[in-house]
Structure 1
């Protein structure tokens, strides 16, 4: 004897799954845990990789590890040369495209009230500032002929961390404002 499942029960399972899926992956960014995890990972990565050199390597080199110092110098020279060459060949195009992208996100986000675009803007804008800072630090390293690498990388990291504090505060403030005024469920 085969028991028949009523059609209404068959429809409940996919709808519950779809509701769960849209709750986990929704475009209401500021009320979504995934957005805040991405924000934390972004700033952690931006402050760890100083001009392409992991800061743990810089710290080991400052403590006197000769192999770490040699590796730091090689990585710093390689990444600084690459950043400077990229900025000289494609810098104007990259700046124009970045400005276009950020302007489009800002207009769509705040002009038309699309929260997803606001969230992406609040991730990309500070990231592009950090990229510009990395190019500036790379130019300083190259002009200094790589004499004070660990000091310049520490300064770069400190500035990135300060920017991180400011932009995380701005993002958290705006996210709380959106959740209080608009509500977490739209």
Structure 2
């Protein structure tokens, strides 16, 4: 009546040959570079261009987001680091020892996101330490966005190289 392999055929765990993996990867990094510290880039541009109320709104939103991020990191930091380390170790083990392409694909998405979290936390600490107003805030948001874009480009490049290698090794007869 129903073939049990049909479901597995519909859910393809060969991630690197799946268009949705690449779309998701690009959307993740596009969003990450647009929303630095939870603030959209167009809001930063408008505040820098017009000043006044737009700049006050930006400073308030950055303060709210950084305070929230720092509260959670101080309150739950060790737990978050432990859970993140466990997840990364699990994915690395599944990818390396058990040859799981799905785990490797998730690892190539999640590992750079943990680096992104570190960059955001570092920027939040610097903003809390005195870079939360005026030109210093614009500079910090610009530098953080630049680092996020660089990390995204490296992440996509590494994922593409690994994906090509995995796809090529699946088609080479052994």
TM-score by length of 2: 0.90
Q: Which residue is equivalent to 1:109?
A: 95
Residues 96-135 of structure 1 mapped to structure 2, 5 A cutoff: 96-135=82-121
Q: Which runs of 5+ in 1 are unaligned?
A: 1-10
Aligned partner (choices 1, 12, 22) of residue 9 of structure 2: 22
Distance in 1 between the 2:171 and 2:62 partners? 46
Q: Deviations over 1:54-95 (max 9, x none)?
A: 111001111124332122111100001111111111111101
Aligned equivalents of 1:67 and 1:183: distance in 2? 59
- 1:46 and 2:46 equivalent? no
Question: How far did 1:141 drift?
Answer: 0.1
1:151-162 to 2 correspondence within 5 Å? 151-162=139-150
For residue 165 of structure 1, the aligned residue among 153, 161, 173 is 153
Structure 2 unmatched ranges of 5 or more: none
Larger Rg: 1 or 2? 1
For the aligned residues, what is the CA RMSD? 1.9
Deviations 1:104-125 (A, max 9, x none): 0011012110000000111111
How far apart are 1:35 and its partner, in Å? Answer: 0.3
Q: What is the rounded CA distance, in whole Å, between the counterparts of 2:96 and 2:161 in structure 1? A: 15
Q: Which portions of structure 1, spanning 4 or more consecutive aligned residues, are displaced by more than 6 angstroms?
A: none
Q: CA deviation at 1:183?
A: 3.2
Note if contact 2:131-2:137 (Cα within 8 Å) is conserved in structure 1: no
TM-score, normalization by structure 1: 0.84
Tell me the distance in 1 between the aligned counterparts of 2:162 and 2:100.
13
**1:43-122 to 2 correspondences below 5 Å:** 43-122=29-108
| Alignment-derived partner of residue 139 in structure 1 | 125
Rounded to whole Å, the distance in 2 between the matches of 1:22 and 1:149 is: 50
